[in-house]
């Protein structure tokens, strides 16, 4: 794709001063007096805190039982529950699925979601295939994805299987990397190409410098308003359900972090801008495109989106969902054939043994 890099190098969008958006409080024992900083020292006549009094009482009362010690250390005064150690799932990577069925007890898959599929569609395709391989009912096989991708989007979807579903939150908390294209001067209700263009605004006046200048305000820790076309619930109702009814629901902005927002204007179509984004959990790339257009005094919406990475996991070499399902069913059929062959061999051996036994019994018969 022919494109030209905007002035201010590609790395300029990635080296964002995240530290500038984080305020660091002064040390707790330092106090400001005029233009001087003094350090407060603990006084010998200070009043004992409740914790210090409890420790004093413990010393006087002698050794306590472990449960009593845990209760005293707990802020609520109760014994904290023992936290279970999370065992991260093992990746099942292409090109072949494992022959050992136990590999699916705690597994994760890297899937390249195709355009037009929902994340739920991917899980719905794989669950019966895995269940067939394991000879279980669909409802007995746990399958879940770690982060929704819109139907229009393609790219990396992490699918967890079995005990691996307990690690979904861990994967969702990882940073995400996206690439895609937005179109200036056109706005849609969903902020992407899934809904028709309902807003048109001038865009010809927008220069490369304008894009870079406005981009700066969308990098770092920012407040982002979720789009109406999203699965977020407000008052027990999903926003997209209200949006389809033509209703506008008041939403609260969310704090998200955009580490990198690189822009490349298409060399043959100046209305199209290609981008790369590295961001935190909960960031809506559709909203980022919409906010960029609004800040430019115009409009914008997504025309293409691809998730390239989640944490250290890349979409490069990920499973094609159709091919993966075919492999699962093929392995099921192969295993059934092998089992049928083994059962047939065992039956033939039994018949041969029965024939031998019958012959031996016949030779030993005494004529009447």
Using a 10 angstrom Cβ sphere, with 0-12 exposed, 13-18 middle and 19 or more buried, the burial of residue 83 is exposed
Hey, what are 299's tokens? Answer: 């409009």
Q: Token match 């902005």: residue?
A: 253
Q: Is 121 a catalytic residue?
A: no
Q: Token match 């990746």: residue?
A: 91
Distance between CA atoms of residues 364 and 289, nearest Å = 93
Catalytic one of 150, 192, 262, 291: 150
Conformational region of residue 246, where left means phi above 0, alpha means psi within -120 to 50, and beta covers everything else: left
Hey, what are 138's tokens? Answer: 């669909």
Hey, what are 84's tokens? Answer: 């279970």
Query: Can you count the helices (H) and strands (E) in the chain?
Result: 8, 18
The alpha helices in the chain, defined as continuous H runs, are: 50-61, 66-73, 119-134, 168-172, 208-216, 239-244, 285-295, 321-363
Distance between CA atoms of residues 116 and 5, nearest Å = 30
Distance between CA atoms of residues 8 and 78, nearest Å = 56
At 138 the three-state DSSP class reads: helix
Distance between CA atoms of residues 208 and 186, nearest Å = 18
Q: Are strands 90-91 and 106-113 parallel, antiparallel or unpaired?
A: parallel
Hey, what are 348's tokens? Answer: 């033939």
Residues 6+ apart with CB under 8 A from 58: 64, 72
At 368 the three-state DSSP class reads: coil
Instruction: Show which residues are catalytic.
Output: 150
């Amino acid at each position: 794709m022919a494109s030209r890099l905007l002035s201010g190098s590609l790395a300029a969008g990635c080296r964002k001063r995240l530290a500038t958006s984080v305020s660091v409080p002064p040390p707790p024992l330092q106090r400001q007096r005029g233009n001087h900083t003094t350090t407060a020292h603990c006084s010998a006549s200070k009043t004992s805190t409740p914790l210090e009094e409890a420790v004093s009482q413990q010393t006087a009362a002698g050794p306590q039982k472990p449960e009593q010690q845990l209760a005293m250390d707990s802020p609520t005064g109760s014994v904290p529950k023992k936290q279970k150690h999370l065992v991260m799932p093992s990746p099942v990577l292409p090109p072949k699925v494992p022959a050992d069925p136990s590999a699916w007890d705690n597994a994760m898959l890297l899937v390249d979601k195709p355009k037009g599929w929902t994340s739920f569609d991917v899980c719905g395709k794989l669950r019966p295939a895995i269940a067939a391989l394991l000879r279980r009912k669909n409802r007995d096989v746990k399958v879940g994805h770690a982060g929704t991708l819109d139907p229009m989007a393609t790219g990396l979807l992490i699918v967890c299987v079995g005990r691996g579903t307990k690690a979904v939150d861990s994967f969702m908390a990882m940073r995400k990397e996206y690439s895609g294209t937005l179109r200036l001067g056109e706005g849609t209700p969903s902020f992407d190409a899934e809904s028709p263009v309902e807003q048109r605004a001038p865009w010809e006046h927008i220069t490369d410098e304008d894009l870079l200048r406005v981009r700066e305000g969308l990098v770092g820790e920012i407040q982002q308003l979720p789009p109406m076309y999203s699965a977020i619930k407000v008052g027990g109702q999903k926003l997209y359900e209200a949006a389809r009814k033509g209703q506008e629901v008041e939403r609260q902005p969310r704090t998200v972090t955009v580490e990198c927002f690189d822009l490349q204007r298409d060399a043959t179509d100046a209305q199209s801008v290609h981008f790369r984004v590295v961001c935190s959990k909960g960031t809506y790339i559709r909203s980022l495109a919409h906010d960029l257009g609004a800040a430019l005094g115009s409009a914008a919406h997504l025309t293409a989106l691809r998730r390239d990475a989640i944490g250290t996991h890349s979409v490069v070499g990920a499973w094609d969902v159709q091919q993966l399902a075919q492999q699962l069913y093929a392995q099921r059929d192969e295993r059934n054939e092998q089992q049928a062959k083994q059962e047939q061999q065992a039956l033939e051996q039994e018949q041969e043994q029965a024939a031998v036994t019958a012959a031996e019994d016949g030779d030993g018969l005494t004529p009447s």
